[in-house]
Amino acid sequence: MSEHINHPRRRFLGTAATTIAAASLGVIRPARAQSSKTQQADVPPPKPGSHTSFGPIKQIDAGLLNVGYAEVGPTDGPVVILLHGWPYDIHSYVDVAPSLASAGYRAIVPYLRGYGTTRFLSSETFRNGQQSAVALDIIALMDALRIKRAIVAGFDWGSRTAAILAALWPDRCKALVAVSGYLITNLTANLQPLPPAAELGWWYQYYFSTERGRLGYTKNRHDFNKLIWKIGSPKWNFDDATFDRTASSFDNPDHVSIVIHNYRWRLSLAKGEQRYDALEEKLSQAPVITVPAITIASDFDGAAADGKSYAKKFSGKYSHRVLDGIGHNVPQEAPDAFVKAVVEVDGYTA
């Protein structure tokens, strides 16, 4: 069975489009959460909107990038790397990170390539949005910060990236929290058509596959992404200031190129780079994730929220929970539930 968590903004989206878009997850195994620093009960419950910023953003050269990132908490605390998706940014964790820090964790929240203050070190580097390239960015960041192992947690692109880290580099991943579950892309599977209602849900991917879409996103990215927020989280009553804090990260000079390449690559309409072929071959085999993991589903996941079709993708200690009334941006909409998942999965490693 899975753990079903009711939320005051209870809603079940239930469309075929969100069903296909979501990752499905597995069977819960009850366990008392216990980290090296604190028990779950000791973590102060964050409220959505309690914080608006992280303070000064740090920068570090890592791999192909100069990465902008927020860091909160003691430098000697257990490390948690929090990964955002599209069209979001580090502010998805603006309430989560301080709560984890108060519990003794060192929270690292990087801007992905193409977002915020993260920049390519060379103008000659191909602006590649394929999944393995983004995952290697995080490995390079860990190396630059001399982080040997970390709990990795994310949603959307961040969930996919976290799952890749857990699957390909389990020695670097202490544990995993993945919203919408197992999102590793299989290019061959993506060539297969979906039912019409499900295809409708991917309208923006087809828009991005055209030059009209690229031009439209370039000119209208603010309004475009605000629309995506409303579609993905229809019960989240965010205000303009909340969106605008994130929207500034879309002004990154590489943002459009990374986003467009990501979605075209997923549909095999754009090539990746040969240097990532070996990693993509491994990912095409849908590797099982062996590290301790917690997966979170929400209204966005529709009928896939029960997670049954992904249960076998997690072979370590694993649990799954469903958040009713919450949309796609789980950490910003339900920071308390996200923090609890991080602390609990840390306890799985004890």
- Give the tokens for residue 163: 């799952």
Task: Decide if pLDDT at 25 tops 90.
Answer: no
- pLDDT of residue 120 exceeding 80, the answer is yes
Closest CA to 345 of 112, 36, 49: 36
**What is the pLDDT of the chain when averaged over all its residues?**
89
- With bands split at pLDDT 50, 70 and 90, how would you rate the model's confidence at 45? confident
pLDDT tens digits, 132-182: 999 999 999 999 999 999 999 999 999 999 999 999 999 999 999 999 999
Say what the pLDDT of residue 2 is.
52
- Three-point CA angle 86, 220, 245, nearest 5°: 55
**pLDDT: which is higher, 23 or 245:** 245
Provide the pLDDT for residue 13. Answer: 33
Buried-exposed string 14-48: b where 16+ CB fall within 10 A, e elsewhere = ebbbbbbbbbbbbebeebebbbebbebeebeebeb
Give the pLDDT of residue 47: 86
Q: What is the pLDDT of residues 281-335, one digit of tens each?
A: 999 999 999 999 999 999 999 888 998 889 899 999 999 999 999 999 999 999 9
Q: What is the pLDDT of residues 59-102, one digit of tens each?
A: 999 999 999 999 999 999 999 999 999 999 999 999 999 999 99
pLDDT score for 37? 46
| Confidence (pTM) | 0.89
Distance CA 130, CA 165 (A): 14
pLDDT of residue 6: 45
307-338 per-residue burial string, b: 16 or more CB within 10 A, e: under 16: beebbebbebbbbbbbbbbbbbbbbbbbbbbb
CA atoms within 13 A on the CB side of 102: 12
